[in-house]
């Protein structure tokens, strides 16, 4: 349970859903967790409070990642807060989880939709990971949260899948540069996971989605968080440059 003792982690988009589950999992393992949020201050506060209630340490930090200087502002704040708490500004674990989605017919997609999804889902993780070249300590971890929709055909999710697919290329091409310092970088591809989406309230649709997995159940945020925790741990030291299927087999074909 102390796999991340004396480690500092930043999880983007950690006020709810997968990001919250990942932050809680790292906190339980002993990491000091920077809980990033863009708008949901109450959700971020609850994440921090839960980590602290369970005996961990955390703090919330706000930044709008889809705007110019958003990532730079985030890292300025995080490093300042880390220095105040630990005397050191360095990170050990970066989880690029924050994302936005717009769904609809391809012909309904706008240039504004495209620019926003690319800015938050692709550009921000790229810039955050570039920051990791100077912020992450040797032996650190970068984990990008993509989507199983990069493996499926869904015209309504075209732009979202394009933006998330960029994370796999970021992972593949940056692995050699980070590997020279013992830093691993991987992408996790969750399948359909119960993170509060309204479609889970439709029994027929929920049954269809559940049937996609050989395990015959829906994914829970904790399922994905445990995969992230493995990659972030010492046990994940020999995995880098990879895309990890965390869909319960739904993406296996």
**Distance of alpha carbon 225 from alpha carbon 1, whole angstroms:** 14
For residue 143, give the 3-state DSSP assignment.
strand
**Distance of alpha carbon 88 from alpha carbon 79, whole angstroms:** 8
**Distance of alpha carbon 147 from alpha carbon 161, whole angstroms:** 7
The one catalytic residue among 160, 164, 184, 221: 160
Contact (Cβ atoms closer than 8 angstroms) between residue 39 and residue 16: no
H-helix segments, 136-238: 158-179, 203-211, 221-232
Chain position carrying tokens 């490093």 = 79
- Tell me if residue 160 is catalytic: yes
* Residue 231, CB-side half-sphere exposure with 13 Å CA sphere: 30
- What is the DSSP annotation of 93-112? EEEE-------S-GGG--HH
For residue 18, give the 3-state DSSP assignment.
helix
Catalytic residues: 160
């Amino acid at each position: 349970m102390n796999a991340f003792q004396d480690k500092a982690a930043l999880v983007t988009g950690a006020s709810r859903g997968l990001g919250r589950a990942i932050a809680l999992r790292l906190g339980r393992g002993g990491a000091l967790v920077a809980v990033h949020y863009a708008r949901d201050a109450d959700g971020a506060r609850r994440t921090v409070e839960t980590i602290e209630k369970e005996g961990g340490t955390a703090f919330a930090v706000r930044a709008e990642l889809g705007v110019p200087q958003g990532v730079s502002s985030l890292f300025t704040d995080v490093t300042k807060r880390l220095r105040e708490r630990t005397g050191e500004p360095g990170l050990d674990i970066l989880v690029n989880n924050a994302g936005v989605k717009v769904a609809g017919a391809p012909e309904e997609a706008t240039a504004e939709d495209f620019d926003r999804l690319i800015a938050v889902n692709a550009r921000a993780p790229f810039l955050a990971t570039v920051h990791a070249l100077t912020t992450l300590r040797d032996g650190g971890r970068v984990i990008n949260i993509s989507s199983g929709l990069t493996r499926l055909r869904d015209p309504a999710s075209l732009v979202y899948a394009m933006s998330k697919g960029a994370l796999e290329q970021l992972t593949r091409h940056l692995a050699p540069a980070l590997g020279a310092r013992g830093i691993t970088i991987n992408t996790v591809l969750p399948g359909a996971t119960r993170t509060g989406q309204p479609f889970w309230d439709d029994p027929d649709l929920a049954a269809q989605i559940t049937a996609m997995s050989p395990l015959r159940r829906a994914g829970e945020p904790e399922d994905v968080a445990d995969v992230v925790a493995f990659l972030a741990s010492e046990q994940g030291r020999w995995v880098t440059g990879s895309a990890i299927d965390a869909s319960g087999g739904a993406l296996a074909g």
